[in-house]
Structure 1
Amino acid sequence: MPLLDIASQCPSLLASYALGTTAANARALDSTEERIQDYRREQRILSDNSISGQSVQRGTLPPDTRPYLAPDWPTLAENTMPSVIALSAIEQPYGFAENSPAWLIPGVQQNAATAALTHYRAWQKGWAKQDAKRQHQTICGGFVIEGNRVLTAAHCVDRQEALRIRTAGGEWRAAHVVGADVTQDVALLEFEGDPLPPIKVANTLPRPGQDVMAIGSPSGYGFAVGVGIVAWHGLDAKMLSPNDFMLVTASVVGGNSGGVVVNTHGEAVSLVSYGSGSYTQTVPIDRALTVAGQLAK
């Protein structure tokens, strides 16, 4: 073939080569994606089977086998309130250097460039005006376990400052974090002033179908109650540290986190973690107290 003809066909040859290469890469990519999806399905099945095999009555507490006790919710709420608190806080200032993307780069934290970028972004986004509007707002619930110590959910105190609690009697107390385990969503707080009566703790866990009541601060309304039943005991793989959880149907809206769940005897059976549709994941009280003990040390 003459050299001129070969040269004239180069663009089409190159295009064919590129098209073939692209098609081959696409097929390889599809094959790789299929293998990834197959692997994920296999792992999900293994995980589901593992969780299903362990989704029975769990934890260190035995199931509650006492005779059925019809709930008297008004009396239970009234008797429980002295041990319940509403948690209030102020969000951290917007101008913290952590808000700068440069903060994520190792070695640049707190240097002159980061400080300059932070100041620029603060001016650009009007952080100073936003910070001036910050004020206390009720964000979560909690309950007293002993003296001046309160249990709440760890995510409630993340990136918050100037914590304070409000008692059922309307008194405000300054508080601080003793410790928080984000992986298990349990935090231990300590407040100032006179101690409050600790909540009565259950030595059994309610069985699926048994009545429970949750007390928290939905949408900032402190000391609101919601009732339901225990739906499930098992493992929650959505948490950073999959562990025992108790699913309840007591209504939960943003702000119930950290609140207490009590049985019809008025005993604390779990700590509210988060809501998922009509259901609420809660930390069984035995595990919550174990984590609190570790945080106290």
Structure 2
Amino acid sequence: MPTIKTVAFIGLGVMGYPMAGHLAKQGLTTRVYNRTASKAEAWVNDYGGSAHPTPRDAASGADLVLLCVGNDDDVRDVTTGENGVLHAMGNGSFLVDHTTASADLALELDAACRERGVAFIDAPVSGGQQGAENGALTVMCGGQQAHFDTVEPLLAHYARAVTLMGGASSGQLTKMVNQICIAGLVQGLAEGLHFAEQAGLDQQRVIDVVSKGAAGSWQMENRHKTMIADEYEHGFAVDWMRKDLAICLAQARRFDATLPTTALVDQFYADVQRQGGGRWDTSSLLKRLRKAQ
């Protein structure tokens, strides 16, 4: 398998910043780019490596380029745009996209990479900022087995599970399943806590009991305390969740898949946005119910 010694990481948000840090801590030569240059400079101060003025500059000479940006248009800008990484990547190098984006984009990038002799893996992640910081993300990959086998050991530096789901776009399709499931779970947790509050029960004691049974979930374990305290200035933002659910719903229409709960929860998140909660954590669905009283 090819030896990867130099990596470039494009996008240093709440996820990318610690993910790139884990790579640098493993002794890899790490080149970074961020749209806000001061963030890249801060990363270099924390981890070493080097900051670069464009994605193209960061990718120059890199064996592996990783992306973690906002949406489909952002990915296109940093890959095939005027200063995109593909203009600098050489034959035999690897491109891994950690952005949660559309399946169409994954197929588009796979084709663009094939033309240049670049191996492509779509690899969206789950686990949130805490998972990124603790190196405990779940990574869902789409691409060729041989390419996956080369990059998997590096992705494992910030993940507890890295799994190849199939060919190109399979990672993105699996991430859609993840977001569909989360939408229903968070709404159910919000309704349960709301019901407990209205019934005059001690919400914490309720969670202590039901979390030990079939109702338990990651969302319940990690979000119930802040939900009870009506605190939402943390975690995965409602704006980003609505972006993800729009991708899910659009893809479902193509498959003729019926997602009534997902569509309904998406509209509940629209209500939260109208409350001014676009940057609140997705668990703010409870705040919507409290406001409806």
TM-score (norm 2): 0.21
TM-score (norm 1): 0.21
Q: Which has the larger radius of gyration?
A: 1
Larger strand share, 1 or 2: 1
